Amino acid sequence: MKALLIDTIRCTGCRSCQVACKEWNELPAEETSFFGGPGYQNPKDLSKNTWNLITFNEVKLNGRLKWIFGKKQCMHCLEPGCVSACPVGALEKTADGPVIYHKNICIGCRYCMLACPFQIPRFDFDSPNPYITKCRLCHDRQEMGEIPACAKACPTGAITFGEREDMVREAQRRIAENPDKYHHKVYGLEEAGGTCVLHISSVPFEEIGYITDIPNEPVCANVKPAMKAIPAVMLGAALILGASYKFRNRTRDEEPAAHG
């Protein structure tokens, strides 16, 4: 199973990966502006047209303020909650690692947005035929024997692509050999049951905006029982609405007879 290793220490914030992602996926540019927050970061967040975002975080490190960059994208969980939550199978976890999306199947229910512990999927609110968008780990490039566009475009080696086991070992090696340089944690190793996008950093991940209160058990363990209840809930709602409709019609039919 393939994975990405994101080393935020090696990231210079050049955003070559953002450009490469948009170019490969034919995503239009967005009109952006500076906002009250991490000064030079643009756009502000992920969107229907931005699946990969370099975040700018001003952090106090060794008594000095320093830019620490993060990378926000789909984490491609080993056991994705979004896949379990989708009632029509529009999301699929592939054997190679990517969680891909079938736009032609999606009904726009947005259950995947609620199920994602990393708050990644975005909804196309502007379209009359709305759908979900997110990173697909360049599944199409992988099928052609190529690495993801973001990894290929990175000029500093901040993004490494390979077998997940190798990426885990590489992350742990870098931390072990540089204990004063790295925060002693591989983000994505255990979160939500593990992911195919791993991160290492010089500071605790909550300091650069990562969601850190994620349990280690797969989200789908809690999603599946809830999804099983949906058909029963829908049936109950249909019965209630049907009975209400019948009662109103019956009352309306009886009123003329009473006046007569």
pLDDT confidence tier of residue 37, bands split at 50, 70 and 90: low
Residue type, 222: N
Residues 260 and 156 in one domain: no
pLDDT of res. 167: 98
* Structure confidence by residue, pLDDT tens digits, 129-149: 778 999 999 999 999 999 999
Classify residue 80 by burial, with Cβ atoms within 10 Å: 0-12, 13-18, 19+. Answer: buried
Confidence at 40, pLDDT banded by 50, 70, 90: confident
pLDDT of residue 247: 52
pLDDT digits (tens, 9 = 90+) for 180-197: 999 999 999 999 999 999
> In terms of domains, do 156 and 249 share one?
no
Tens-place pLDDT, residues 9-30: 999 999 999 999 999 999 999 8
Same domain, 257 and 199: no
What is the pairing mode between strands 122-123 and 2-7?
unpaired
Q: Do residue 233 and residue 214 come from a single domain?
A: no
Together in a domain, 129 and 235? no
| Domain shared by 87 and 157, yes or no | yes
Residue 152 φ/ψ, nearest 5 degrees: -70, -35
With cut-offs at 50, 70 and 90, classify the pLDDT of residue 234.
very low
C-alpha 69/C-alpha 67 separation (Å) is: 6
pLDDT at 59 over 70: yes
Q: Each residue of 127-159: b (16+ CB within 10 Å) or e?
A: eeeebbbbbbbbbebbeeeebbbbbbbbeeebb
* 99-130 pLDDT per residue, tens: 999 999 999 899 999 999 999 999 988 877 77
CA dihedral angle for residue 28, residue 33, residue 34, residue 40, rounded to 10 degrees: 30
Asked if residue 233 and residue 116 are part of one domain, the reply reads no
How many Å from the N-terminal Cα to the C-terminal Cα in the chain? 77
Residue 244: what pLDDT? 53
- Examine the domain organization and report whether 167 and 194 are in the same domain: yes
Res 237: pLDDT = 43
pLDDT band at 253 (very low <50, low <70, confident <90, very high): low
- 234 and 152 together in one domain: no
92 with 24, same domain: the answer is yes
Q: What is the reported pLDDT for 233?
A: 45
Domain count for the chain, please give it.
2
Are 208 and 259 in a shared domain?
no
- Summarize the confidence of residues 200-213 as an average pLDDT: 96
Residue 32 pLDDT: 83
Q: Which domain holds residue 120?
A: 1-218
Is the bond leading into 43 cis (omega within 30 degrees of zero)? yes
Mean pLDDT of the chain: 87
Residue 96 pLDDT greater than 90, yes or no: yes
Regarding whether 231 and 119 lie in a shared domain, the answer is no
The pLDDT, as a whole number, for residue 159 is 98
Round to whole Å and give the CA distance between 116 and 120: 7
CATH code, domain with 73: 3.30.70.20
**Whole-number pLDDT of residue 225:** 52
